[in-house]
Structure 1
């Protein structure tokens, strides 16, 4: 473009073919976008629970088979319910429908176990996530404090405390 011509912006549509599969230990090296080393060590511990059937832990991947989203379903939190937790989408790919794909894949896993209810907690300071869950049919029913250890930039651990809105969805 020369300095005298009007700037032309082109809309580019990119189509990602996504699949959902089990997250495996080997995936964790490419999931640094999801959290600190401490968080990923916790995910590794949760992957051990997959073997016993207590949880499902999913990876959403494009054709490269490298996870761009991850999240778990815990079947032990509440009897007869699949509880979604640790849902995350690569920051550069948020608002592209990948979170919807992840939640729907998790709901499919819940249904495949014969369960008809999904629940999750969303931090009250995360209105974008709550809007997604509401759009997908989740309804708020309570509030609950939550906390976990977080790794600070200096490598030390600190306690993170937050308030979560509890949401549920009847699966059909």
Structure 2
């Protein structure tokens, strides 16, 4: 019979010291980009950590400059071994609190059209689709070369006042 174990999470600002432990969240290029962006005064990076050890198990960005009147949530990632455990939900709710604390009335995000599981989570949390847009980023291919990844994202919004 399975035993349920509850592990407390701490959600706090992401620091450069966390990045070596976040390889599960993206490529080396992605983590280098995050390191450069940590100093922005118009964005917050959050990390979900195992409370006792401080080990990062989820992360995300809130960009306050992309859309007037909204905080745009992005770069959400949860350690693959811990997906579907509520960590993504906890990160989203913490991000919404930060957005609210900035006096903004909406949270927005984009989800890849090919990611229905993430979209279902966002819909359960009250996000509503309002459009699509192309997106893309550079990533490291298995052979070590850098390639451009192109996708289409469904744009979603939620009032948080």
TM range (shorter): over 0.9
In 1: Cα distance, 2:143 partner to 2:38 partner: 27
Aligned to 2:75: 86
In structure 1, the partner of 2:65 is: 76
1:43 is matched with 34
Aligned counterpart, 1:115: 104
SS in 1 for 2:56: coil
The number of residue pairs the alignment matches comes to 160
CA distance in 1: counterparts of 2:15 and 2:143, whole angstroms: 28
Normalising by structure 2, report the TM-score. Answer: 0.97
Residue 24 of structure 1 pairs with residue 12 of structure 2: no
Runs (5+) with no aligned partner, structure 1: 1-9
Q: Give, in whole Å, the separation in 2 of the partners of 1:100 and 1:157.
A: 32
TM-score normalised over the length of structure 1 = 0.91
- The correspondence of residues 91-170 of structure 1 with structure 2, limited to 5 A, is 91-170=80-159
SS for the counterpart of 2:39 is: helix
- Following TM superposition, by how much is the alpha carbon of 1:143 offset from its aligned partner in structure 2, in angstroms? 0.7
Larger relative strand fraction: 2
Moved over 4 A (4+): none
Q: Give structure 2 stretches of 5+ with no counterpart.
A: none
RMSD over aligned Cα atoms: 0.7
Distance 1:35 1:148 in 2: 11
Which string of whole-angstrom CA distances, capped at 9 and with x for unpartnered residues, describes residues 82-104 of structure 1? 00010000000000000000000
* Alpha-carbon shift at residue 110 of structure 1 (Å): 0.4
Per-residue CA distance 1:106-141 (angstroms, 9 max, x = gap): 001001111110000000000110000000000000
